Amino acid sequence: MKPGRWWGARSLHARLSLLVTGAVGAAVVLVAAGAWIAVREIQRHQVALELSSDAASIAANPAQWLATESSRTRGPGERPPFDRGWGPGRREREIGPCWQILDSSGAAAGGSRTTLPVTDTAREIATGSRRQSVQEKITLGPDDYVMLTLPLADGGAVQVGMDENAGERVLTAFGALLALGCAAGIAGAALLGRAVARAGLAPVDRLTSAVEDVAVTQDLDHPIDVHGSDEIARLGRSVNAMLAAIEASRRAQRTLVEDAGHELRTPLTSIRTNVELLLELERRPELAHRLPPEERAELLADLDAQVRELATLTTELVELAREEATREAVEPVDLADVVSAAVARVRIRVPGLTYDTVLEPVTIPGRPGELERMVVNVLDNAAKWSPPGGTVKIRLSAEEPDWTVLTVTDSGPGIAEEDLPYVFDRFYRATAARSMPGSGLGLAIVAQTATQHGGTATAARATETGTVITIRLPV
């Protein structure tokens, strides 16, 4: 399994526990490694200081050191104990474990019982070819030593060696202790991570349970209890806002269905009555004389009009209830072109009017199909109310730097003051409009489309006669 997939399959509790454990474990390991390195460097520095101090003590009076008991002849392979001589008759501290003095030719003149090797570098220092002290690593039997060679003022050199194994054993023991401490720290971090995850995610668990209850019961009227002002409380309030929006959408959907059912019932009932009458006449030809040809033609024309009205109502209902996921993509739209296309469509349907257009080119972000449908609905409404031979005025201009304004003015009687607040409501039809064809959805679609594009739609009585519909859209 891929690491990303494995990580995604873990619960939030497990991921938080692992993150806490990893973070604390990494910190413990880094601190332990830093401590081990620091101790190693301190130990090396201490060894170097001790070698320098011992070598300087011997170099200060080499003749006196050569005369001590420790400079006696050593037998082959003989390993002495630590040399304790600091000077003749003096035993102030340990030096060594071994030391050696070289003469100006590079030969060993004396020293402790453990012979130190005369390396090429040491010989160069003793003969004066090199004047700087040098620290080297050497091997004496099974042990590793650090050897410092220091030049003498009158020629020759002093060599001091120290066993490294004791220090390495200390470092090994210290490293083992640190490893045990790291293991204990990581185990404690794992327990701490579980406790932190359980305590930190407890509010999330409560919120999850509340949301799951809402999903099971479908009860959106009771919000989730939220306390405090932290991130979990913000999430809870966001969930409550989402539930309120869903409930409002559900109520709006229920209202739409109820209103649509009511509006569809009337034309469907009329169509059914007329169709049943025609079917009855077809089954009983002897009754055909009761429906004269002119009345039969009127009935068929009425059926045709009702079917058209039903089709229009269905289309507008679908347009009004369109889901966001099925909408067009937003793109730059030349609103003047959209208005021109809408005017051309309405002019074909209602040719007996004059369409006075003054359009200023304006580009806005929008959905071309929805905008054209909006303008067509406004023009249809204006054409329906304008008398034969009347004029419909269409004006498009950039009113402000960030807004464009479309106004459509008809030459009809105008909307009554009491009807103005409701003209954009769904299925609302003014008293004067109830004898005319229409569903009461056209202007509702106009208002919805304008709102979805970040604008507004308003209606008012014209200064002279008729009604003016104003649509403001952001540029």
Task: List the one residue out of 394, 390, 393 whose CA is nearest residue 353.
Answer: 390
State the DSSP string of 89-142: TB-SS-B-SEEEEE-TTS-EEEESSSPPP--HHHHHHHHTS--S-EEEEEEETT
Tokens of 339: 């208005």
Tokens of 123: 């010989």
Higher-confidence residue of 437 and 474: namely: 474
Measured CA to CA in angstroms, residue 445 lies from 227, 262, 319, 323, 386 at distances of 41, 18, 7, 13, 21
Helix (H) or strand (E) holding 259: helix 231-283
- The DSSP output letter for 301 is H
Percent of the chain with pLDDT over 70: 82
Percent of the chain with pLDDT over 90: 12
Residue 344 CB neighbours (<10 A): 10
Tokens of 218: 């479908």
> Can you give the pLDDT at residue 288?
67
| Dihedrals phi, psi of 428, to nearest 5 degrees | -80, 130
- Distance from C-alpha of 102 to C-alpha of 109, rounded to nearest angstrom: 5
State the DSSP string of 152-209: -TTS-EEEEEEESHHHHHHHHHHHHHHHHHHHHHHHHHHHHHHHHHHHHTHHHHHHHH
> Can you give the pLDDT at residue 393?
92
| Dihedrals phi, psi of 98, to nearest 5 degrees | -145, 150
Tokens of 286: 């002897």
pLDDT in tens, 186-235: 888 888 878 877 777 777 777 778 777 777 877 777 777 777 777 777 88
Residues in the chain: 475
pLDDT band at 280 (very low <50, low <70, confident <90, very high): confident
Tokens of 351: 């040719």
- Range with lowest mean pLDDT among 42-51, 106-115, 221-230, 311-320: 311-320
Give whichever of 153-162, 252-261, 283-292 has the largest mean pLDDT.
Answer: 153-162
Answer left, alpha or beta for residue 204, where phi above 0 means left and psi between -120 and 50 means alpha.
Answer: alpha
Tokens of 65: 């050191």
> Can you give the pLDDT at residue 335?
92
CB 256 within 8 A of CB 318: no
> Can you give the pLDDT at residue 245?
81
- Give me the amino acid identity at 207: L
Block residue for tokens 């889901």: 323
- Give me the amino acid identity at 55: A
Tokens of 307: 């079917």
- The DSSP output letter for 223 is P
Axis crossing angle, helix 442-452 with helix 293-320, rounded to the nearest 10: 20
> Can you give the pLDDT at residue 437?
52
Strand, helix or coil at 227? coil
> Can you give the pLDDT at residue 69?
47
Measured CA to CA in angstroms, residue 169 lies from 32, 55, 164, 226, 310 at distances of 17, 25, 9, 61, 97
pLDDT in tens, 307-356: 876 776 677 667 666 644 456 688 999 999 999 999 998 888 788 899 99
Helices marked H in 321-422 — which ranges?
335-349, 368-385
Facing residues of 168 across strands?
Answer: none
Measured CA to CA in angstroms, residue 221 lies from 245, 314, 361, 396 at distances of 11, 31, 48, 45
- Distance from C-alpha of 238 to C-alpha of 232, rounded to nearest angstrom: 10
CB 410 within 8 A of CB 466: yes
Strands 157-163, 467-474: pairing kind: unpaired
pLDDT in tens, 136-153: 888 887 778 889 998 988
> Can you give the pLDDT at residue 320?
60
Span 146-162, mean pLDDT? 89
- Distance from C-alpha of 180 to C-alpha of 183, rounded to nearest angstrom: 5
Span 448-464, mean pLDDT? 85
Higher-confidence residue of 167 and 148: namely: 148
Strand, helix or coil at 375? helix
CB 236 within 8 A of CB 224: yes
Give whichever of 118-127, 396-405, 423-432 has the largest mean pLDDT.
Answer: 118-127
- pTM for this prediction: 0.44
pLDDT band at 75 (very low <50, low <70, confident <90, very high): very low
